[in-house]
Amino acid sequence: MDPLNEAAPDSVTAAPPSKDIPSDGTGIVALDPYLDPYKPALRSRFSKAQQWIKTINDTEGGLEKFSRGYERFGFTVSPDGTITYREWAPNALRAYLIGDFNGWNRDSHEMKRDPYGVWEIRFPPVNGKPAIEHDSKLKISLVVPNDHARQERIPAWIKRVTQDLSVSPVYDARFWNPPHAYQFKHPRPPKPLSARIYEAHVGISSPEPKVATYKEFTHNTLPRIRDLGYNTIQLMAIMEHAYYASFGYQINSFFAASSRYGFPDDLKELIDTAHGMGITVLLDVVHSHASKNVLDGLNMFDNSDHLYFHEGARGRHELWDSRLFNYGHHEVLRFLLSNLRFWMEEYQFDGFRFDGVTSMLYLHHGIGTGFSGGYHEYFGPSVDEDGVVYLMLANEMLHALYPDCITIAEDVSGMPALCIKLSLGGIGFDYRLAMAVPDLYIKWLKEKQDIEWDMGNLCFTLTNRRHGEKTIAYAESHDQALVGDKTLLFWLCDAQMYTHMSTLSDFTPVIARGMALHKLIRLITHSLGGEAYLNFEGNEFGHPEWLDFPREGNGNSFHYARRQFNLVDDQMLRYRFLNEFDKAMQWTEEKYGWLHAPQAYVSLKNESDKVVVFERAGVLFVFNFHPTESFTDYRVGVDVAGTYRVVLNTDSPRFGGLGRIQDEQRVFTTDFAWNGRRNFLQVYVPSRTAVALALEETLDPGWKNSVSLGFGY
């Protein structure tokens, strides 16, 4: 049994605040006094969340039971082999189950309706075996108003759907009931103190122009992720989506793992194997909207416009061309909360990155809205309080039942209290994405010369996060890799990317600049920008091309829908140097733990020298972004006296650098205050380099060997 489930409470209630904290959802004001004028809004959303918890406790036996809707709805199989199928479709006049099991007879298996619009049918076992064959096709056939027309739909809670593009782009529902259920071998790993996240898409995880599989990812990609030092994987495009090029963001079957990569048990094996490597696995969950597909989606399921979604214009996202959930409806809450619980239980995911949270928080969905940071933007009539409350309930349920669960919010607005627990009036996420950081880099690379980069603005952007709310820093994610944009290395080296990345070619100024800045940008983002770090698959080695899925506009080509790991493995190409640096950066953080340490103390932001100096977790970081100037015996402040050694050096030859800084460099502090620190030391900082130094006594006895292997300490 999963130890996380063993002690699961019978019900979920918001943890009572301490006697010194208000019990009305305004406890967050003590952390942020600027929220004081908005206490009424904080009370309103908190009260609504508490009322939902009370209602669910009274009517459903609590959130714990309520979130197990997948054990009641859809297809369930009892120990004796009895199959029960239930579906909520209150607008339907009659309902029938059809499929391979009855030769697709539309009238032979009529379902019964209860007072709440839930249809049900049971199939007793035949000769001791389930009456419906495993993996056979089926659908629900509904008689609906408007001339009593018949329509067939994919069951809303179906756990497997498949697509045969040679026949039709529409998905087929499958009755998934394998005779031998997958048995997980490894427990979930403990929640990482420092989340180093590898954002990955199974389908593109191959150098070959094809859709890669779960098994290929397990055998080929997982070992790479482990060796690089990432301890968390964020899997994209797992929930079934009809259109591959949607990147997984147009969901049509919420409980089905995408069949284009293989079978459900293949995904379970992937997660189980990752757990065996000590890697946490997160699901990129899409509850912000749904595909507008009718034949194989939730849209117009029972021929009504408002079953799971808002009716009319409010139920449609004009930019995404998709449907929007009605978060204030009892059955929609059951569906979505049960969906989260299903992925945690059935597939043993360890948490979620919630996509499109901005759209869920506001009635305007962020469309045409530029958030200035004014608090009035986060409260008032533009806020979708039902959406806010759903996220409160989701986080409360997940963290109560799974204490090590990780939840991440993708929100561009900067909503206060997004990552504060419900008892204080917060929404309850563990982390938020620092979405302004990659935007800054792209803007500078597009518009500024290197000498114009503003060190003060860089440090402000990297440290501008809300007190008490954890942030995930990243230099680039999948958003920056999409066609029409460029990855960082592509912006830096586009002119010579295909001609001078070989070690047999000249190390040109373009390539030297690009590789140097690629390392500097990633290291300063990693060490200064947040309490966790994220990298998109392939960007660790500067993947040379954007990402574009097969579609009509590109001749359905897979050329750009792949990750060219072969470039890293080729010892004659310079991509391996960037890969080795990323590896050293992750493992050095594993040793010193700066991501889960308090925010860095920035002691120097020198605009003319383009030098930034800060300390975090006992590590001294010195960056020189100047394109031409190097500095000898550069004086930098440091708080703790002692002998310091280089533990990470971007200029090391094994990272493609020029070797101007010695890996074994040893420097001593002087007892004299400098830049607000109690001591100083003097270091050599060549142009476009960075070094991280740590006290000599923190180094392992075999640190020289570790350095030579590229682990940074």
Active-site position among 355, 411, 545, 663: 355
710, amino acid identity: G
Give the C-alpha separation, 602 to 524, whole Å: 12
Classify each residue of 287-315 as buried b or exposed e, where b means 16 or more C-beta atoms within 10 Å of its C-beta: bbbbbbbbbbbbbbbbbbeebbbbeeeeb
What is the 3-state secondary structure of 291-303?
Answer: CCCCCCCCCCCCC
Give the C-alpha separation, 51 to 44, whole Å: 10
Cβ distance 695 to 643 under 8 Å?
A: yes
C-alpha distance across the termini of the chain, in Å: 39
Residue 595 three-state SS: coil
SS3 content of the chain, % helix, strand, coil (to 5): 30, 20, 45
- Is 639 annotated in the active site? no
Residue 635 three-state SS: strand
Give the C-alpha separation, 130 to 376, whole Å: 58
Tokens coding 190: 């403990």
Give the C-alpha separation, 377 to 316, whole Å: 22
Cβ distance 471 to 197 under 8 Å?
A: no
State CA 651 to chain mean position distance. Answer: 31
Residue whose tokens read 């962020």: 366
The number of CA neighbours under 13 Å toward the Cβ of 142 is: 27
Active-site position among 266, 350, 410, 469: 410
- Is 355 annotated in the active site? yes
Angle between helices 436-447 and 455-463 (to 10 degrees): 160
Give the C-alpha separation, 379 to 40, whole Å: 10
Classify burial at 149, counting beta carbons within 10 Å of its beta carbon; exposed 0-12, middle 13-18, buried 19 or more: exposed
* Torsions phi, psi for 220 (to 5 deg): -105, -40
Q: Give residues with Cβ within 8 angstroms of 192, minimum separation 6.
A: 231, 232, 280
Q: How far is CA 482 from CA 245, 436, 546, in A?
A: 11, 17, 6
Give the C-alpha separation, 540 to 517, whole Å: 13
29, amino acid identity: V
Cβ distance 670 to 693 under 8 Å?
A: no
Cβ distance 432 to 469 under 8 Å?
A: yes
Give the C-alpha separation, 74 to 27, whole Å: 41
Q: Could you list the active site residues?
A: 355, 410
